[in-house]
Amino acid sequence: MTKAKQIVFVNKTTTPSQNKIVSTLVDLGYVPLVDAVHGLHHGWIMSHIRPCPHRLYTIDFVGKKLIEYEAMDLPVEMTVMPDLCIYFNTDEEIASLDWYHIRYWLRHILLGEEVSKEVLEKGASLILQPEKQTCALQTEEAVEEDEDKKYYSFTSQLLEEDDIMLYQVCKPYTDLPYTSVIRNFSTKGPIRFFSSLFVCPSWGVSRFDVPFLEYIWNQQLKMDGVFNMDTLLREATEACYPREDGVIPETEPEVYRRSIADVINTLNSRKMGYPCREPHDVPAHLYDQEHRHSYTSREELEQAHQDVDMFANKED
């Protein structure tokens, strides 16, 4: 059985309770879809949510209540939006007991209600949680910042046998790179790379992050069309929604705070059925592989963005 995804419906100006729902899920390691468009759209909910095994929830933080219902219970003329939606793929059959575990898991994490450990574990096990692997530099490995760390850089490598493309971005004044894994690359292409990095809380906080992605779009990958980050994010989000035509929704982005070499080692270990090793166990030959590196100089970026100096200062 696939695991359930989450949608948090919010106003264009979010309320404290909406912020609390999102922050609670994010702090627990989940990546909910935050939807400020469809919360009061009855037709959209009926066509996209109702066909899936789902539950809608309204959370009353003051009264400590969690109200559970389904799309068919909504009035056509909606004046109040649900706070939260938990849904599975359309081909799944979800038992009443599973919904019981999810309901009490939500009551615990959102309202602080005491729930047995067994119920919490079963409820949490039903909710999709993206796999994350983060590795911090060892103290003895710390070195003085070198000149390269002042610049963004972009690296890519195609694993032809597995039809996987790896895109790595190094960001100024950060210790670990971002490596995005694009599976089924021959059919999907690079388009989801641009939105994938935003799954990391630290990406997008600098005013230079999006312009650098635009530079990659125009100068490195030479994509067709005009770069529009808002459109790319919206399309990637909507692709994760359930669809009435039976097409399986896309999974959340797969991004690691590790180098390409480390990610290759992890993928190979999984393919061979071995436990994933720590980064310092990566064989030396993986580090020595020839990758296509494109370190963007200040001059190149100034030509692409005349009014933006992306590397002059640390991120805000």
Task: Tell me the per-residue pLDDT of 125-163, one tens digit each, with 9 for 90 and over.
Answer: 999 876 554 444 444 444 444 555 668 899 999 999 899
| C-alpha closest to that of 103 among 135, 127, 137 | 127
In a domain, 65, yes or no: yes
**Cα–Cα distances in angstroms (integers) from residue 8 to residues 11, 37, 42, 162, in the given order:** 10, 11, 16, 34
Confidence of residue 312 (pLDDT cuts 50, 70, 90): very low
Percent of the chain with pLDDT over 90: 54
| Residues 117 and 154 reside in one and the same domain | no
Whether residues 84 and 216 share a domain: the answer is no
315: in domain: no
Total of domains in the chain: 2
Name the domain boundary from 68, 102, 125. 125
- Asked if residue 134 belongs to a domain, the reply is no
- 54 and 179 inside one domain: no
User: Which pTM value belongs to this model?
Assistant: 0.47
Query: pLDDT-derived band of residue 165, with 50, 70 and 90 as boundaries?
Result: very high
In a domain, 177, yes or no: yes
Task: Examine the domain organization and report whether 144 and 262 are in the same domain.
Answer: yes
Least confident of 126-140, 227-241, 254-268, 278-292: 278-292
The DSSP symbol for 160 reads G
Using the 3D structure, point to which of 125, 158, 192 is the last residue of a domain.
125
Q: Which of 74-83, 267-276, 304-313 has the lowest mean pLDDT?
A: 304-313
161 and 18 both lie in a single domain: no
Mean pLDDT confidence for 258-270 = 85
Do 299 and 197 belong together in one domain? Answer: yes
Quick one: 84 and 56 in the same domain? yes
Residue 133 lies in a domain: no
Confidence bin at 101 (pLDDT 50/70/90):
very high
Q: Based on the domain organization, do 179 and 118 belong to the same domain? A: no
DSSP 79-139: SS--SEEEE--TT----HHHHHHHHHHHHHHHH-----HHHHHHHHHTB------B-PPPG
The answer to the question of residue 312 being in a domain is: no
- The pLDDT tens digits for 11-20 are 988 899 999 9
Lowest mean pLDDT among 18-22, 122-126, 154-158, 199-203: 199-203
Query: For the chain, how many residues are written?
Result: 316
Q: How far is CA 106 from CA 65, 91, 124, 145, 254, in A?
A: 11, 24, 9, 44, 25
* Domain end residue (candidates: 73, 97, 125): 125
> Which pLDDT belongs to residue 273?
66
Q: Is residue 175 part of a domain?
A: yes
Query: In this model, does residue 272 exceed pLDDT 60?
Result: yes
Say whether both 98 and 227 belong to one domain: no
pLDDT at 239 over 60: yes
pLDDT at 208 over 70: yes
Q: Does residue 160 sit in the same domain as residue 97?
A: no
Same domain flag for 204 and 78: no
Q: What is the pLDDT of residues 30-77, one digit of tens each?
A: 888 888 889 999 999 999 999 999 999 999 999 999 999 999 999 999
User: Within a domain: residue 268?
Assistant: yes
Q: Quote the tokens at residue 171.
A: 């960001």
**pLDDT value at position 131?**
57
In which domain, by residue range, is 43 found? 5-125
Same domain, 83 and 217: no
